[in-house]
Amino acid sequence: MSSLFPNYGRWPIRIVRGEGNYLYDESGKKYLDLIAGIAVTSLGNVPPKVKEKVQEQLNTLWHCSNLFEIPVQEKLAEKLVSLTCGDRAFFCNSGAEANEAAIKLARKYTQKILNEPRYEVITFTQSFHGRTLATLTATGQAKVKEGFDPLPEGFVTVPYNDSRALQDAISDKTCAIMLEMIQGEGGVNPADPEFVEQIKTLCAKHNLLLIVDEVQTGIGRTGKWFAYQHYDIEPDIITMAKGLGSGFPIGAIVGKEKLVEAFGPGSHGTTFGGNPLASSAALATLETLEEDGYVAQVHGLGVYFKEKLEALAAANPTIVKVRGKGLMIGMEMTGEVAGIIEQMRAESILMLQAGPNVLRILPPFTIKKEEIDRAVDVLENVLNRMKEPVANE
């Protein structure tokens, strides 16, 4: 019997090694990785340039308190600021912690800098912002909230891509709007440009902060460094995590200069966030993505992958729609997809779901076209063997 809590629905595979676009189980079986640790290992498994920098850091300093200046953390902050519309960075350990920090910063800025007693954050149905008490309350999915009452107040959830509902939800308590440009866990749902434009207008009109959750979409996943860059907006706060450190636990927020006074000494903190080891991994990840041109390649690979899937959809009525940007792709099916995922796994290809009816594809940016071809061919064979996508019993 395992000594672990059974809070994960684990697959019957023990992964013991990773290299490039492949994972290997304890029997030596090789799997094409179209999950990338859920949008984490964007440079593939154990990327050489990141490995080299991490090994260098292991030989000098693993951790020191944020009571001290940490040079590699400063360099990482400078790099993130240069890649975004923001001016300052704060580092933590995960996406949930980044979203917690963003929520705290929005409230503190509104109440202590603007001197207005506003505290509510508007979020959207099918969103996912984390599993802490605040971030699961912000999440627009009832299933993650069950059994955790009483939940903290201060969150209002409205339908995604519904401008009228959003406008009606704004009150004299609202301090911020929190948005995913493409909902990941909620089904790979992109935000409509008109909806985003309305959010921009409402934030300006009511002096609200705009928080964009880029935990899954950020660090090049959609073909730009951040998904908000596909739209004509400048968020006040951007949160990120997954793809930032090539698998080393690190999260961050990047915010506008006007917010600095709200996050002075003692206002927020973390023991491990931005330590030398995690910061080295993240800086090496960003430098490799930039120097080797991977972010630019993501767009073309994503177009190629979507075209192959759309051609498959045209011939298969069980596929409802293919959507997403870059290498963040969702394929909505007429039925549940757990059985498809199981059969793909048996064929040595790893995929996951985003809700019961959506296949989610999040490959490393290093994936090759011939590997995409193989994945689509295998998926076609699997679908042909199945009259209806069914749940895994």
> What digits encode the pLDDT tens for the residues 339-349?
999 999 999 99
Question: How many residues are given for the chain?
Answer: 393
Using DSSP bridges, classify how beta strands 88-92 and 174-179 pair: parallel, antiparallel or unpaired. unpaired
Query: What letter does residue 151 receive in the DSSP assignment?
Result: P
- In angstroms, the CA 237 to CA 255 distance is 4
pLDDT band at 389 (very low <50, low <70, confident <90, very high): very low
Q: Are 208 and 202 in contact (CB under 8 A)?
A: yes
CA angle 210, 218, 97 (to 5 degrees): 65
pLDDT in tens, 32-86: 999 999 999 999 999 999 999 999 999 999 999 999 999 999 999 999 999 999 9
Predicted confidence (pLDDT) at residue 139 exceeds the cutoff of 50: yes
Select from 272, 218, 331 the least CA-distant residue to 91: 272
C-alpha 78 chain-centroid distance: 21
Answer whether residue 388 shows pLDDT above 70: no
Q: What is the mean pLDDT of residues 178-182?
A: 98
From the number of C-beta atoms within 10 Å of its C-beta (0-12, 13-18, 19+), residue 114 rates as middle
* Nearest of 228, 237, 234 to residue 262 by alpha carbon: 237
CA dist 144 and 126 (Å) reads 11
- What is the pLDDT, as a whole number, of residue 387? 65
**Contact criterion met (CB below 8 Å) for 118 and 111:** yes
Locus of tokens 């998904």: 227
> Is 50 exceeded by the pLDDT of residue 391?
no
Average pLDDT for the chain:
97
Class of domain 15-46+293-385: alpha beta
- The CATH number of domain 48-291 is 3.40.640.10: yes
pLDDT at 393 exceeding the cut of 90: no
User: Residues with Cβ < 8 Å from 242, sequence gap 6 or more?
Assistant: 37, 38, 39, 40, 95, 215, 216, 218, 219
- Please determine, for residue 321, whether its predicted confidence score (pLDDT) is greater than 90: yes
Looking at residue 265, its pLDDT comes to 95
Could you read off the pLDDT of 187-205 as tens digits, one per residue?
Answer: 999 999 999 999 999 999 9
Residue among 295, 216, 246, 280 nearest 76 (CA): 280
Question: What pLDDT is stored for residue 1 in this prediction?
Answer: 87
Residues of the chain with CATH 3.40.640.10: 48-291
Residue 308 gets the label, from left (phi > 0), alpha (psi -120 to 50) or beta, of alpha
Phi, psi (degrees; rounded to nearest 5) at 344:
-65, -40
Quote the CA–CA distance of 107 and 121 in Å, as a whole number.
9
DSSP assignment of 57-76: HHTT-S---TTS--HHHHHH
Q: Which amino acid is at 28?
A: G
Instruction: Round the CA-based radius of gyration of the chain to a whole number and report it.
Output: 21
Of 154, 138, 152, 66, nearest to 95 by C-alpha is 138
Please give the span between the terminal C-alpha atoms of the chain, in angstroms, as a whole number.
Answer: 22
Please enumerate in sequence order all residues whose Cβ is within 8 A of that of 309, keeping only pairs 6 or more positions apart, or say none.
Answer: 319, 322, 329, 331, 376
The answer, yes or no, to whether residue 111 has pLDDT greater than 90, is yes
The proportion of the chain whose per-residue pLDDT surpasses 90, expressed as a percent, equals: 98
Taking the alpha carbons of 112, 113, 119, 121 in that order, is the dihedral positive or negative? negative
User: Range(s) for CATH 3.90.1150.10 in the chain?
Assistant: 15-46+293-385
Closest CA to 166 of 137, 190, 204, 195: 195
Residue 374 three-state SS: helix
CA 309/CA 322 separation, integer angstroms = 7
Q: What is the mean pLDDT of residues 276-291?
A: 98
